[in-house]
Amino acid sequence: TRTQVAIVGAGPAGLTLAHLLRRQGVEAVVLERRTRAHVESRLRAGVLEQPTVDLLRELGLAARLDAEAMTHRGVRLRFAGATHRLDLSGLTGGRAITIYGQHELVKDLIAARLADGDPILFEVDEVELSGLDADPVVRYLRHGRRRELRCSIVAGADGFRGVTRGYLPGTVFEQLQPFAWLGILARTAPSSDELVYAAHEDGFALHSMRGPALTRQYVQVPPDVDVAAWPAERIWQTLRRRLGHGDGLDLPVGPILDVTVAAMRAVVTEPMRHGRLFLLGDAAHIVPATGAKGLNLAVADAAALSYAIGAWAGGAPAELDRYSSRCLDRVWRTQRFSVWLSQLTHRLPGEDAVDRRLRETALSELVSCPHTGAAFAERYVGQPLPTPW
């Protein structure tokens, strides 16, 4: 079979691209390694930037999001024993962040695509690419049968552990941060109506949520952490200590539903293109999670790529040549923000008392100086997408 664009990976990047291409009349087939049930229940990000939400609304994909998601107009920063509020909306002319689980978004994007009658092939294995110079062919195994999909363009949206990034001969910039996150999903009511980022001298903690009775929290742990060393009691004690039980949050204890470890790394692949293969999302780059940018960056890449492919389909192929550099500019700015915020809020190995005071000073400038606060808020709620959608 043949299609215009083969999209490898049904995460936020691949699915958003598929919807944007459809709107421009470009045909695509999405190939996904896992089952539909698996991708619809995989626990990942939770913060959507304003431009991400605006794009989803414009595509008519935000009905459930608008009914169920939480809008946050501010964010709390806790350091030196006190909690401070940053008025995100006040500092950005009314913009906000939206709390909506990534798997809920993925569910919405899949349902809408299938309702349109457009293909997503789940349980596709052993994806192999060839002909990337001119005439791409995607070979794969599905339900025991070998298949071939011919196309004009391959979009590699299969994440950091996918196969498409392996076809890029360019440079991979990679830095592992000296800390990781233990992610905890618990059946407890959130203790704050906004997210709380805590820079405690023991280490970082983050209080987030997925609904009125579901919290999503993170604590800084060493990269080589053994999850067995973190029984529920230790998790709650650590969260209470770092988030400030009593003077900070009144954290109720409840059943823990899930505990996972996430490494923190900064990765950028340059360029994000090789011949007819274009990478987007986590396949092309990873940002440390602290800034809540990964999913949003995936959507921004999808917007840029759909624009370039739309132009190509309309007879202006030069836009494809601009895709990588256009994305990389935003990618490195987002990388800088994410690494900076991580280092500002985490305990770093080998740090001393002076380092801690300097960090507290930077944090207090953030909540007391309107210019510094506004610069942060602009980046946190998200900068406009690269194309006029």
What does the binding site for ligand DHB look like in residue numbers (CB under 6 A)? 45-47, 195, 206, 208, 216, 289-290, 292
The residue (of 80 and 214) whose beta carbon lies closer to ligand FAD is: 214
In whole angstroms, what is the distance from residue 10 CA to residue 40 CA? 10
- The CA–CA distances, whole Å, from 279 to 122, 158, 298, 327, 370 equal 20, 9, 10, 10, 38
Distance of CA 191 to the CA centre of its chain: 24
Q: Does 149 bind ligand FAD (CB under 6 A)?
A: no
Question: Rounded to whole angstroms, what are the CA distances from 348 to 26, 45, 129, 262, 356?
Answer: 48, 24, 41, 17, 10
Of 233, 236, 170, the residue nearest 207 (C-alpha)? 236
Site string for ligand FAD, 255-284 (x = CB under 6 A): -------x------------------xx--
Choose between 47 and 205: whose C-beta lies nearer to ligand DHB. 47
Footprint of ligand FAD on 170-199 (CB under 6 A): 183
**Least distance from ligand DHB to the Cβ atom of residue 315, Å:** 41
Q: Which stretch binds ligand FAD (CB under 6 A): 29-37, 219-227, 265-273, 328-336?
A: 29-37
User: Least distance to ligand FAD from the beta carbon of 49, Å?
Assistant: 8
Smallest gap, in angstroms, from Cβ of residue 81 to ligand FAD? 26
Q: Which stretch binds ligand FAD (CB under 6 A): 6-14, 142-150, 192-200, 367-375?
A: 6-14
Exactly one of 7, 17, 18, 39 binds ligand FAD (CB under 6 A); that residue is: 39
Please choose, from the candidates 72, 21, 112, 78, the residue with its C-alpha nearest in 3D space to the C-alpha of residue 311.
21
What's the distance, CA 84 to chain centroid? 25
Q: Please name the residue that has the structure tokens 């939770």.
A: 46
- β-pairing, 196-200 vs 214-221, is unpaired
Q: Residues in the site for ligand FAD, rule: CB under 6 A?
A: 8-14, 31-34, 39, 44-47, 102, 124, 127, 157-159, 161-163, 183, 262, 281-282, 289, 292-296, 298
